[in-house]
Amino acid sequence: MATPADHGFRMPAEWAPHARTWMAWPCRAEIWGDRIEAARASYADVANAISSVEPVTMVCNPDDVIEASLALGSSVEVMPLEIDDSWLRDSGPIFLLDGQGGMAAAHFRFNAWGGKYTPYDKDAAVAAGIVDRVGVQRFEAPFVLEGGAVTVDGLGTAIVTEECLLNPNRNPGMTKEKVEENLAQWLGITRTIWLPQGYEEDETDGHVDEIAAFAKPGVVLALTTDDKDDANYDVLQDNLDILRSATDATGAALQVVELPQPAARDYPTGGRITLSYANFYLCNGAVIIPGFGQSADDRAYKVFREVYPDRQIIQVPAYDIAWGGGCIHCITQQQPAIG
């Protein structure tokens, strides 16, 4: 089977220029319950913020086109396409560039985070619909991988977690060596940095985009907490140690910038809500960061202001998105610009 690497394609960094951002309109009632309208309003806030700096297309079920169109600004395109859920980072395609003016897309298998939600057949096919609309070559991968499970620097380095990528509910029996081979062949990765675990009770089984992200070449933003009684404390400290001792694909040491962890919040029925400032989105000239209505929002804003002095920092209230199990990065997927 020919892979993207065979044709010279690799995944660019998120800070590379974008042609467009793709999103999907909330629709799975069992996730949101009576909070679905609040979730849709928050998704619209994110889409409208991004559309101020680059084009946005919102995929939505045909029955939701009118509602989505009314909630979204006139600069956001609405594309009817059947979906099961609204986390396009994980179900959508990952776009690739070859550095020679060519673009393609990797379409990974999707099984709703290890079969946690059914049905998911429409989401498993949504990448094909998007790629057909864009009109580029689609490489269909023979294994499960969600976009939120990997962060890359565009130079050959990826950060992932063992908890997610070695989880038997994705690709049973897949070894670490095979995962690295797949990342090399499908995303152009030559150096994989492994973190052991992700965020406590994260239903994605430890997606990296809740705990760490490449911010720019050689720089990683990592979630941390000073509260030694917090269930995430030891995990996040281990991540810091690993990242500070790691080198990227060029052999250079990483600069690690700490992000504060928001104060813990639980669902009324129990279980921790995954609140994280590491779940942000880079777009053309701006950074879209979450706010959760607490004092840590200001501290996080200051960190992003220091890391990105040349970008607009747009903080969007995101608690209603996090209620569904993810945040701003989870609901967005970039289409890079060619050239």
Asked about 164 being catalytic, the answer comes back as: no
**Torsions phi, psi of 201, nearest 5?**
60, 20
In the DSSP assignment, the letter for residue 214 is: E
Bridge partners, 335 (sequence order): 20
Contact 149, 204 (CB under 8 A): yes
- What residues contact 158, with CB distance under 8 A and at least 6 apart? 150, 151, 152, 183, 187, 189, 191, 192, 193
Q: What is the Cα–Cα distance from 275 to 287, expressed in whole angstroms?
A: 17
- For the stretch 32-70, what's the b/e string if a residue is b when 16 or more beta carbons lie within 10 angstroms of its beta carbon? beeebebbbebbbbbbbbbbebbbbbbbbbeebeeebee
Contact 292, 318 (CB under 8 A): yes
Pairing of strands 312-317, 219-224: unpaired
| Catalytic (active-site) positions | 330
